[in-house]
């Protein structure tokens, strides 16, 4: 189960197979739904119990599921593996996926799960360690930063016969299956639906932050600051206290600056569910967000020009 490959396989990523504390690297979580016929992912997505009521779950120590590795997984099932990828170095990553049968791989290059998009897929079964049977098994190069974590998910549908899921990264011919040391599982108890939206913009130097509470949360630890790394680590100065409402007011913000925040959910037993790091940018005094984008090429000659207004601006 621990064969290194640097590309993604044909499923929506996720690792696991041992117990793991949320937020710590070492595993990724797999969930499955049984007694679903067919080989198409749509049969899983359309199932009444998907995505919230799996028939079972476990933790993987690499981003790989091979036939027989999980006793409950034999034939006619669908599975989802999801968590976070922790890049060992900053640079461009090409991901690969291999699955039996159809599989899809998703990644959020912005970190949080709400930005995940499909980056690779397998349309049918591919042999073990075969990363090139289908053109879509390989992603485009994606720039990721060490010290950050990125949501990753793979889903696949097994009909009958052999079954597998492999996700890797690396150049063609030197793929390495993603090891558990670069993965951490997704926690279903975290806060979701941030407001402002993750990566969004605000128009004033003060803003009310809101979110949807985790299913078992009774209190919320707020972290807020100007550094992703500091908020991710929860260093001194970013901890803003524990609240009971799903609201926090941030003021005296600097125009044009990006801020980062995180909500850790605390349940009645005192267990903390570490949240994702979200961000927003305060609009500057100058125009911003041009459409077409700055330096865009091959723009239609009849294109309308638009932009975001600077803070406090009435005329342009």
Q: Using 50, 70 and 90 to split pLDDT, how confident is the model at 6? A: very low
Question: Could you give the residue range(s) of every CATH 2.60.40.10 domain in the chain?
Answer: 192-282
Q: What burial letters (b/e) apply to 107-134, b meaning 16+ CB within 10 Å?
A: bbebbbbbbbeebbbbbebbeeeebeeb
Question: Half-sphere exposure of 188 toward its Cβ, with a 13 Å CA cutoff?
Answer: 11
Q: Give Cβ neighbours of residue 33 (< 8 Å, ≥ 6 apart).
A: 44, 47, 49, 50, 54, 55, 77, 78, 79
| CATH of 192-282 given 2.40.30.260, 3.40.920.10, 2.60.40.10, 3.30.310.50 | 2.60.40.10
Supply the mean pLDDT for the chain. Answer: 88
pLDDT tens-digit series, residues 22-33 = 458 899 999 999
Q: What is the CATH architecture of 28-185?
A: Sandwich (2.60)
Round to whole Å and give the CA distance between 71 and 32. Answer: 12
Question: CB atoms < 10 A from the CB of 66, how many?
Answer: 16
Residues of the chain with CATH 2.60.120.1560: 28-185
What is the rounded distance in angstroms from the CA atom of residue 49 to the CA atom of residue 80?
A: 13
pLDDT in tens, 240-298: 999 999 999 999 999 999 999 999 999 999 999 999 999 999 988 777 778 878 877 77
Alpha helices in the chain (DSSP H): 41-45, 228-233
The predicted structure's pLDDT at residue 298: 73
Task: Please state, in angstroms and rounded to a whole number, the distance separating the CA atoms of residues 23 and 276.
Answer: 10
Supply the Cα-derived Rg of the chain in whole angstroms.
Answer: 21
Amino acid 25: pLDDT: 87
State the pLDDT at residue 23: 58
- Condensed to tens digits (0 to 9), the pLDDT of residues 71-122 reads 778 899 999 999 999 999 999 999 999 998 899 999 998 878 888 999 999 9
Length of the chain: 316
User: What pLDDT, in 10s, does the model give residues 204-250?
Assistant: 899 999 999 999 999 999 999 999 999 999 998 999 999 999 999 99
- The answer to whether residues 156 and 121 touch, using CB atoms and an 8 Å cutoff, is no
**pTM assigned to the model:** 0.81
Is the bond preceding 201 in cis, omega lying within 30 degrees of 0? no
- In this prediction, residue 16 carries a pLDDT of 31
**CA-to-CA separations, 256 to 132, 289, 307, 311, in angstroms, rounded:** 45, 12, 15, 9
């Amino acid at each position: 189960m621990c064969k290194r490959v640097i590309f993604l396989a044909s499923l929506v990523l996720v690792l696991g197979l041992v117990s793991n504390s949320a937020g710590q690297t070492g595993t990724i979580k797999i969930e499955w739904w049984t007694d679903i016929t067919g080989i198409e992912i749509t049969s899983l997505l359309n199932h009444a119990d998907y995505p919230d009521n799996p028939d079972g779950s476990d933790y993987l120590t690499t981003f790989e599921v091979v036939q027989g590795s999980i006793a409950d997984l034999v034939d006619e099932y669908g599975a989802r593996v999801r968590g976070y990828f922790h890049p060992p170095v900053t640079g461009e990553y090409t991901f690969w996926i291999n699955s039996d049968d159809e599989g899809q791989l998703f990644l959020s290059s912005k970190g949080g799960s709400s930005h995940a998009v499909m980056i690779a897929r397998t349309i049918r079964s591919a042999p073990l360690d075969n990363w090139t049977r289908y053109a879509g098994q390989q992603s485009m190069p994606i720039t990721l930063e060490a010290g950050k974590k990125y949501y990753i998910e793979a889903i696949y549908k097994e009909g009958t016969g052999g079954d597998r899921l492999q996700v890797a990264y690396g150049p063609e011919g030197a793929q390495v299956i993603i090891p558990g040391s670069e993965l951490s599982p997704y926690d279903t108890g975290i806060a979701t639906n941030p407001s402002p939206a993750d990566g969004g913009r605000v128009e004033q130097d003060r803003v009310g932050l809101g979110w949807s509470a985790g299913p078992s949360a009774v209190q919320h630890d707020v972290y807020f600051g100007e550094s992703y790394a500091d908020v991710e680590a929860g260093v001194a100065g970013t901890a803003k206290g524990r609240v009971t409402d799903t609201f926090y007011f941030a003021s005296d913000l600097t125009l044009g600056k990006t801020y980062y925040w995180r909500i850790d959910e605390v349940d009645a037993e005192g267990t903390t569910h570490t949240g994702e790091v979200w961000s927003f940018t305060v609009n500057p005094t100058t125009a911003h967000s041009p459409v077409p984008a700055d330096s865009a090429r091959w723009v239609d000659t009849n294109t309308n020009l638009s932009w975001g207004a600077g803070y406090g601006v009435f005329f342009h």
